[in-house]
Amino acid sequence: MGIEQFTFSCDGFRSWESAFAGQKMIFAPQKSVIRSNADDRMDGRVQVRWYFPPDNDPIPNATLEFQNGVLTVVDSDSAIPTQHLTNTAVIPGLVNAHTHLELSDLSEPLPFTGSFPDWIREVVRHRRERKQSPNEALMQGLREIVETGTVAVGDIEQVGDEDHPVDQSLRVAPRRLGFREIICLNPDDGQKKIEAALAAECEEKIQLGLSPHAPYSVHLEVVQKIVDEAIRRSVPVAMHLAETRAELELLQTGSGELATFLKSLGIWRDDLFRPGTRPLDYLRILSRAPRALVIHGNYLDDEDVDFLAGNPQMSVVYCPRTHACFDHQTHPWLQMMNRGVNVALGTDSRASNPDLNVWNEVLFLRERFSDVCPKALLQLATINGQKALGFVRASNSTDWTFIELHETASEASAAKRPWEELFHRDSRPVGSTVSRR
């Protein structure tokens, strides 16, 4: 097992150049750099200002040895060449547990004017009218993921996206779990849609999952069939659930703005939603899957959270800035964490977020929830995401992200306040290592 690649932005290039001397470098398009040596090993020794182990307190001035993909804290030994990175912290690898890379060509979020169906219409219009192919947009998103130090991503894939040759230099980065999206309100078409979603070629480097899109776009019976298929194939599922008040109304009463939306598309039938249906009905079905990611869960109630707490194979992916973009009620992520639910972070797509940088989600939460334990906050964006996507590794051989700390911190204050320095608004990810599977 060696470290397969090492990526960082141009800004961080000089300081890293001599850290792992003698290794082949591949310059990917735009700003990211991927390097590995001839036999795919990445060995070296660095001293960093802070090392944040996955399950322990931060260690100041840590000397870290990367050998065969395993990171070890070692005693500083002047006889061994060590690269000193005085302004850098090493944290467990950042994970973006939910996004839609095929929408990464958007330069800014699509406007939300108070109506969720209107926002969906904007997304559909963008897909129809854009000049770039979905695959070009996907590659643009992947580059952004790499450049922001993210080691793994849960991506919702639309079938037919792979219609152009892709940039081989980004094939290896980051770890990707591609959830094939299924939209189907007609139970009779369910199996056909599932087979179509699975028929598309799967890249060797991408792990496969299935995604019934959302309760308003996939019939409950089709969700059941998708979960049956996920069980047969031992793959995870991801579903947008309890995202809006309109969704709850649709499930409960078969009315509201989403019902009007489906009628306007000509796909409404009176028997689509059994009166009194709740998100819990979907949670029960999803819980049968080997692993399930509940995307958003903005309006899950106490009973739902209790159910999730009793099903450790399920995770909730909270997308903080996207949540803020839609003016929802307060997200129950703290309540979920307190009850032991695995909560991971996602950016969602650029249709509802200005970027795909999951570190910005952490800083966003830190600013608004300064009393939350900082270690727990870091876990949301790292270890919890790895667990949600199934990329969990032994603690010392996990993937790592390098954070460039803001320059004004004095050595004295930094030694006392690792978390303040890490979560400073100017601290930013500059690189990552991804171990070979």
Binding site residues, Zn ion, CB under 5 A: 348
CB of residue 45 to Zn ion, shortest distance in Å: 41
CB of residue 158 to Zn ion, shortest distance in Å: 12
CB of residue 155 to Zn ion, shortest distance in Å: 10
Position with the least CB separation from Zn ion: 348
Q: For Zn ion, which is the closer residue by CB, 157 or 348?
A: 348
Q: For Zn ion, which is the closer residue by CB, 351 or 383?
A: 351
Q: For Zn ion, which is the closer residue by CB, 16 or 318?
A: 318
CB of residue 253 to Zn ion, shortest distance in Å: 25
Q: For Zn ion, which is the closer residue by CB, 348 or 404?
A: 348
Q: For Zn ion, which is the closer residue by CB, 102 or 348?
A: 348
CB of residue 65 to Zn ion, shortest distance in Å: 39
CB of residue 315 to Zn ion, shortest distance in Å: 15
CB of residue 349 to Zn ion, shortest distance in Å: 6
Q: For Zn ion, which is the closer residue by CB, 318 or 391?
A: 318
Q: For Zn ion, which is the closer residue by CB, 120 or 309?
A: 120
Q: HEC profile for the chain?
A: CCEEEEEECHHHHHHHHCCCCCCEEEECCCCCEEEECCCCCCCEEEEEEEECCCCCCCEEEEEEEEECCEEEEECCCCCCCCEEEEEEEEEECEEEEEECHHHCCCCCCCCCCCCHHHHHHHHHHHHHHCCCCHHHHHHHHHHHHHHCCEEEEEEEECCCCCCCCCCHHHCCCCEEEEEEEECECCHHHHHHHHHHHHHCCCCCCEEEEEEECCCCCECHHHHHHHHHHHHHHCCCEEEEECCCHHHHHHHHHCCCHHHHHHHHCCCCCCCCCCCCCCHHHHHHHHCCCCCEEEEECCCCCHHHHHHHHCCCCEEEEECHHHHHHCCCCCCCHHHHHHCCCEEEECCCCCCCCCCCCHHHHHHHHHHHCCCCCHHHHHHHHCHHHHHHHCCCCCHHHCCEEEEECCCCCCHHHHHHCHHHHHCCCCCEEEEEEEECC
